[in-house]
A and B are shown apart, each in its own frame.
Chain A
Amino acid sequence: MNCADMEPLVLLQDSGEISEAQKQELVKHLSACSACRQQNTDLAFLRKTLSDGAQNLPEPSQQILAHIRTAAQHRYSPKMSIWTRPWPIALAAAASLALCLTSLRFFVSSSSVISTRSTQSKDAIEIIPLIAMITGTESIQLTMEGNETDLTVLANELLRLQDMTLEWPKEKMDTPTLPEDYQPTTLLWNNIRGPQPERCG
């Protein structure tokens, strides 16, 4: 075998994917070929250079790390009441909610049940979980006229809040599934994470 045949073996050796037979062949070749030995050394040099260079790369900001941690907590930890959050955040959320409610056709039918007849399902998706969080509502009765996709997204948004229950028109859908590309809405996440919402405030 010539040097060209050995080059891939040097790489496979480096990645730990080399077979025993290939390894023996490579060892034999390296003992007699300084050019291929040099390739091996070059690989180690490049790895070290990349590693050294990475020390000079910037790191993710503390704010981003905090956002990720908040999302992580939100996903698997029990619901944190809005009243246990810092007051400025609670007040900001409540104020923005009040503003939103004046422009959307939602209403709170009782202290424990939220209903909406809004056809603005996109807005409903954003605002209902927020209302529920702020009021501590445990159950949401959905009377919204919306299409199944919107209902699915809403249902999942609520399920993300873990300890909420959702009543939705059973004839419309069975078990909701989260769309692959679904992202938490900006308004909802802004309120959960802290900064005041820009859209409604």
Chain B
Amino acid sequence: MSSVMQLEQDKKRNSELEVSDEKLISLYVQGDIKALDELIVRYKKPLYSFLWRLTESGSDVDELFQETWLRVIRKSADFEQNRFKGWIFKIAYHLVIDWSRTKRGHLSLDRTSEYADGLQTLADTLPAPGLGPDDHAANGDIQKAISQALACLPAEQKEVFVLRMDANMSFKDIAELQKISINTALARMQYALKTMRKLLGPLREDSERTL
């Protein structure tokens, strides 16, 4: 058997042996504290990244992260959904929405009121700033490039993009969360991808050049 096949089989076996998130939360409700610990380990990174990308606000991210878990803990006994992942990201998303209501209020490129469905914004009317290869060479920071590109997205598109790409939520769940149709969610994602491709394109050229 080739090592690749062996690796695939091991991976499959491990995923079968791994206790599901839903089982862990149910164990926690029954009093197994370690089960929640395991969930924290699993979601620490993706949840924090998700919050960071949506808010770009260091100190607030800490607070939102902590509050998300406190709500999970408080509502754990009521957890009846199919997927823990969708549930925790929904909690986090709602917290971000509440947070953004208190933070926004200034004229920004996110303003979409003049346009239907949040698909077009003021940002679309401006020349794309772009991220030249030199920018990346200078800072060598992929995350910085991503942050800059995400900052150019209208809020609604950014939310769909991050919910899909970071939280790995389905379009059905995203549509439900944003109270929009699946088609609108898909359209927002298409617009977001178009912008991200344009802005992160040089990054790709960099990586292809180094190969």
- A-side interface residues toward B, CB under 8 Å? 7-8, 11-12, 15-17, 42-43, 45-47, 49-50, 52-54, 56-61, 64-65, 67-69, 71-73, 75-77, 178, 183
Cβ of B146 within 8 Å of any chain A Cβ, yes or no, is yes
Cβ of B28 within 8 Å of any chain A Cβ, yes or no, is yes
B167 → A minimal CB distance (Å):
11
Q: Give 19 CB contacts A-B under 8 Å.
A: A16-B170, A17-B171, A45-B204, A46-B193, A49-B142, A53-B142, A56-B141, A56-B143, A58-B58, A59-B44, A59-B48, A61-B62, A65-B40, A68-B70, A69-B33, A72-B36, A76-B28, A76-B31, A76-B33
Q: In the bound complex, what is the Cα–Cα distance between A68 and B67 (angstroms)?
A: 9
On whether the beta carbons of A43 and B31 are closer than 8 Å, the reply is: no
Q: In the bound complex, what is the Cα–Cα distance between A49 and B204 (angstroms)?
A: 9
- B-side interface residues toward A, CB under 8 Å? 28-31, 33, 36-37, 40, 44-46, 48-49, 52, 58, 62, 65-66, 69-70, 73-74, 76, 141-143, 145-146, 164-166, 170-172, 183, 186-187, 189-190, 193, 196-197, 200, 203-204
On whether the beta carbons of A72 and B186 are closer than 8 Å, the reply is: no
Q: A49-B204, A69-B33, A69-B36 are in contact. List 15 more A-B contacts (CB 8 A).
A: A11-B164, A11-B189, A16-B170, A49-B200, A50-B146, A50-B165, A54-B45, A54-B143, A59-B44, A59-B45, A59-B48, A60-B62, A71-B69, A73-B33, A76-B31
CB-CB nearest in chain A for B70 = A71
Measured between beta carbons, the chain B residues less than 8 angstroms from A50 are: 146, 165-166
B37 → A minimal CB distance (Å):
7
On whether the beta carbons of A65 and B44 are closer than 8 Å, the reply is: yes
